[in-house]
Amino acid sequence: MTETEELREWDRRYFWHPFTQMQCYGDDDPWIIERAEGNYVYDTEGHRCLDAIASLWCNIHGHRHPRLDAALIAQIGKVAHSTALGASNPPAIHLAKALVEITPASLQHCFFSEDGSEAVEVAIKMAAQYWCNLGRPEKHLFLTLDNAYHGDTVGAVSVGGFPLFHAVYGHLLFPTLRLPSPYVLQWEDCEGDPLQATTAWLATLESTLQDQGSEIAALILEGGVQGAAGILPFPPGILAGAQRLCRAYEVLLIIDEVATGFGRSGKLFSCEWESVEPDLLALGKGLSGGYLPLAATLAAEHVYAAFLAPFGETRQFYYGHTYTANPLACAVALENLALFAEGAVLAALPGKIAQLRAGLQRFHGRSWAGEVRQFGMMAAIALRDPRTNAPYPYADRVEYAVCRRAREMGVYSRPLGDLLTIVPPLSVTAAEIDIILNTLYDAMAEGRS
Ligand code: PMP
């Protein structure tokens, strides 16, 4: 038995993987990534793959960036962990300050946690407690969207809109009010017209706020695209219109930029496209450049102020984990922000986004491809069975086979339902964008015409 075979055997036997049907996990030989360098990952057999999904949409500058490695090593030489309960640490202090400085101006305080779901949990609990602290506990409902994904913890699933998760965990979830997905509204009810869709969606939001605004704590929206639902971009004006209406009806606006933050949209934060200044902002994924689990919830001054009281009153925020504001993660995140501050990463994005858009054209009209969608440096291509012009039956796992084929050809992608996704490191080069597009094209087309 080779070392890889032994690892595969133990992986199947002991390692329960996330979002995975373990009975079938062993059908394919588990793919075990041993190391990575730049935009490439290497498996235990030395096979190299271009990472077209930035690990899980988080390795912004690729892998093993010398500056991020150095920041981590320097911090290990000082302290790996210290609690944020009753103590502080320099990287966390600098990072909180830096995040307040670079996020929309409304946001003045930074609360750390470990992953995107938690950044959302924090925002939900802050919004709920904000209204309680102000003596208005009747404002307890959350307004959310069909198809929303905000994470997999109980609160984050509650404000999410995936029917499957609600079917399984419904009895654990708190009730929410649900609005239509702006993308679905645009294409199902408004013949694709973005202006009409935005007007219709905002009218629905306003009538909900008129009817029930007095009971609504917050509206939560992803940052301009429903990512995990299949990269469903919002028509323009949704975020700005939502902010205007939330202010008019005294409802907090939570923007979840876990997926869109740190350059993915083409700007540092997606809120910037429509000059949106939310009351709460959830960040994760790219915050530590894909190095360590770190997330943050940024809060506006009025939100923070509602938690202030003399010692002993029950206004303080009840949240905090063992690893909150971990100095290693914060030190790497600071260096990640320093890389962005130098400007070259963001300056290169318009060209890369345009190249991706142009390259996606060739998938249009293919018998084996359905919708092609893009939002900044994220794209999805639907795989279609040419015989039926519909997705392949889920159980056939054809998308997995296509991704496996792409991997054999040297490109690492991941299926998302019936979609193949392209969410590369922002450091991807022009030549590598072509390689990703060509390889996925060939892997999808192979044997299908
Ligand atoms: N919010 C959004 C918009 C996301 O895309 C995700 C993850 N895909 C999350 C929250 C949850 O983040 P995590 O997986 O780090 O908990």
The complex scores an ipTM of 0.99
239 touches ligand 1 (CB under 6 Å):
no
The 3-state DSSP class for residue 66 equals helix
Nearest CA to ligand 1 atom 1: 150
149 touches ligand 1 (CB under 6 Å):
yes
To test ligand 1's pocket by mutation, which of 149, 232, 280 has the most ligand atoms within 8 angstroms of CB?
Answer: 149
Average pLDDT along the chain, 449 residues, taken 10 residues at a time: 95 96 89 97 97 97 98 98 96 98 98 98 98 98 98 98 95 97 96 97 98 98 98 98 98 98 98 98 98 98 98 94 97 98 98 98 96 98 95 92 96 95 98 98 90
Q: What is the C-alpha to C-alpha distance for residues 220 and 142, in angstroms, rounded to an integer?
A: 7
- pLDDT of 312: 86
Query: From the CA of 264, how far away is ligand 1's center (Å)?
Result: 14
- pLDDT of 427: 98
For 307, other C-beta atoms within 10 Å of its C-beta total 15
**What Å distances lie between residue 191 and 179, 183, 184, 194, CA to CA?**
19, 11, 10, 9
Binding-site sequence positions for pyridoxal 5'-phosphate: 116-117, 256, 321-322
Token pair of 171, please? 């009895």
Using the atom order of ligand 1, give the atom closest to the CA of residue 118.
16
228 touches ligand 1 (CB under 6 Å):
yes
- pLDDT of 131: 98
DSSP conformational letter for 274: G
Query: From the CA of 57, how far away is ligand 1's center (Å)?
Result: 10
CATH topology of domain 31-64+348-445: Aspartate Aminotransferase, domain 1 (3.90.1150)
Q: What is the C-alpha to C-alpha distance for residues 241 and 182, in angstroms, rounded to an integer?
A: 12
Burial of 390 (0-12, 13-18, 19+ CB in 10 A): exposed
287 touches ligand 1 (CB under 6 Å):
no
Strand 216-222 relative to strand 141-145, pairing = parallel
Residues of each domain in the chain carrying CATH 3.90.1150.10: 31-64+348-445
Report yes or no: 200 and 189 within 8 Å, Cβ to Cβ.
yes
Q: What is the pTM (predicted TM-score) of this model? A: 0.98
143 touches ligand 1 (CB under 6 Å):
no
- pLDDT of 28: 83
Q: What is the C-alpha to C-alpha distance for residues 414 and 381, in angstroms, rounded to an integer?
A: 11
161 touches ligand 1 (CB under 6 Å):
no
Question: Torsion angle, CA of 236/377/412/48, rounded to 10 degrees?
Answer: 180
Strand 295-300 relative to strand 107-113, pairing = antiparallel
Residues of each domain in the chain carrying CATH 3.40.640.10: 70-342
- pLDDT of 349: 98
Query: From the CA of 309, how far away is ligand 1's center (Å)?
Result: 32
Give the orientation angle of helix 430-445 with respect to helix 349-360, to 10 degrees.
20
116 touches ligand 1 (CB under 6 Å):
yes
Using the atom order of ligand 1, give the atom closest to the CA of residue 222.
3
- pLDDT of 27: 86
- pLDDT of 196: 97
- pLDDT of 258: 98
Handedness of CA 262, 264, 268, 271 (dihedral sign): negative
Question: In sequence order, what are the beta bridge partners of 374?
Answer: 379
Classify each residue of 44-58 as buried b or exposed e, where b means 16 or more C-beta atoms within 10 Å of its C-beta. Answer: beeeebbbbbbbebb
Range 70-342 classified under CATH 3.40.640.10: yes
DSSP conformational letter for 297: E
Using the atom order of ligand 1, give the atom closest to the CA of residue 284.
15
